[in-house]
Copies of this chain bind each other. A is one copy, B any other.
């Protein structure tokens, strides 16, 4: 797996498992520093860049929403059919139920199943933490990415240095978080609905 020269990133099994676990733990739109940390950690399991993490969360969230939406519309169709069968001719404002279910608040889109403590050591509320993750800000931490002027991407193994120490000198104005330890390696999760096995350290 993960051939040396493929045009797009394909996650390793370990990478995917960790990403899914982070997703289950409540992370939807990771901030710039979060993406940095995740990338750093996952680069141990194979070639990966920050944008891969960025896109992965974006796609996963979107396709979760999409899946949910389809399921709800299908349920609604069934309900309406059954209502018609039962000769109940109430004016069908049931459609409002659908919109009530759909994530209408665009800022915060999901309750945290299992709040990842390691990500909130700075003490800031999650809203302010998760507000700063457009593609531009997220990429601010990526320093050693080639601008991909031509399609010769870097397939020199996964020697991508990722450089946690190479923080911009002007960062951390009044924040206690510098290279805060994102993966504590002590799996203190309660495995509420984590059907996946714990990540097997290769």
Which residues on A are within 8 Å of B, measured CB to CB?
32-33, 50-51, 54, 132, 134-137, 139-150, 152, 154, 168, 170-175, 177
Q: Are B147 and A173 in contact (CB under 8 A)?
A: no
Q: Are B137 and A136 in contact (CB under 8 A)?
A: no
Pick the most buried of A50, A51, A139: most chain B CB atoms within 10 A of its CB: A139
**Interface contact A32-B148, CB-CB below 8 Å:** yes
Q: What 11 new A-B contacts, CB under 8 Å, besides A146-B171, A149-B177, A150-B174?
A: A132-B148, A132-B149, A135-B135, A135-B136, A136-B139, A136-B145, A139-B139, A140-B142, A140-B148, A146-B170, A149-B175
Q: What is the distance, in angstroms, from A131's C-beta to the closest C-beta of chain B?
A: 10
Q: Which residues of B contact A139 (CB under 8 A)?
A: 135-136, 139-140, 142
Known: A135-B135, A136-B135. A173 touches B149 (CB 8 A): yes
| Distance of A180 Cα from B45 Cα, bound (Å) | 39
Would you mind naming 22 contact pairs between A and B with Cβ atoms under 8 Å apart? A32-B147, A32-B148, A50-B136, A51-B136, A54-B136, A132-B147, A132-B148, A135-B135, A136-B142, A137-B148, A139-B139, A139-B142, A140-B142, A140-B146, A140-B147, A140-B148, A141-B147, A143-B143, A144-B170, A145-B168, A146-B170, A149-B175
Residues of B within 8 A of A146 (CB): 140, 168, 170-171
A54 vs B144: C-alpha distance when bound (angstroms): 20
